[in-house]
Amino acid sequence: MTRWTQQQVAALAPDASSLAAARRLARPGPWSDTGSTDTLVWGKCQGSGKTPYQVSVDLTGPAFQCSCPSRKLPCKHGLSLLMLWVTGSGSVSDAAEPAGYAAQWAAERSKRAGAVASVRAARAGLAAQAHRAPDPTAQAKRLEERLALMTAGMDDFARWLGDLARSGTAGVRSQPYAWWDATAARLVDAQLPGLAEQVRAMASDVSARPDWDDHLLAAMGRWWTVTRAWALRASADDDAMGDLRAVIGWSVPTESVRTGEWVSDRWTVLGAHRTDDGRLQQQRTWLHGATSGETVQMLDFAAGGQVLPMARVVGSVLDATVARYPGRAVRRALFVDEPLISDARGELPGPGSIDAAHAQAAATWAANPWARRVPVVLRRVRATVLDSGDPGRGKALPSAAPVPAALVDEAGDAVRLTDDSPLWMLLALTGGQPSDVFAELEGRRARPLSAVVAGELVAL
The 10s digit of each residue's pLDDT in 197-256 is 999 999 999 998 888 999 999 999 999 999 999 999 999 999 999 999 999 999 888 888
Q: Distance (Å, rounded) from C-alpha 439 to C-alpha 421?
A: 10
Q: How confident is the model at residue 393 (pLDDT cuts 50, 70, 90)?
A: very low
Q: What is the pLDDT of residues 22-75, one digit of tens each?
A: 988 888 888 888 888 888 899 999 888 888 999 999 888 788 999 988 888 889
Q: How confident is the model at residue 90 (pLDDT cuts 50, 70, 90)?
A: low
**Is 169 in a helix, a strand, or coil?**
coil
Q: What are phi and psi of 293, to 5 degrees?
A: 70, 10
Q: Is pLDDT above 60 for 284? A: yes
What is the average per-residue pLDDT within 384-397? 55
Question: 56-60, 111-115, 171-175, 337-341: which range is least confident on average?
Answer: 111-115
Residue 453: the pLDDT is 92
Q: What is the pLDDT of residues 154-194, one digit of tens each?
A: 999 999 999 999 999 999 999 999 999 999 999 999 999 99
Mean pLDDT rounded to a whole number for the chain: 86
CB of 42 within 8 A of CB of 77?
no
Torsion-angle region of 275 (φ positive above 0: left; ψ -120 to 50: alpha; else: beta): beta
CB of 200 within 8 A of CB of 222?
no
In the chain, the percentage of residues whose pLDDT exceeds 70 is 90
Q: How confident is the model at residue 119 (pLDDT cuts 50, 70, 90)?
A: low
Residue 397: the pLDDT is 42
Cα 8 vs. chain centroid, distance in angstroms? 16
Q: What is the pLDDT of residues 306-321, one digit of tens each?
A: 777 777 889 999 999 9
Helix ranges (DSSP H) in 378-455: 423-430
Q: Is pLDDT above 50 for 394? A: no
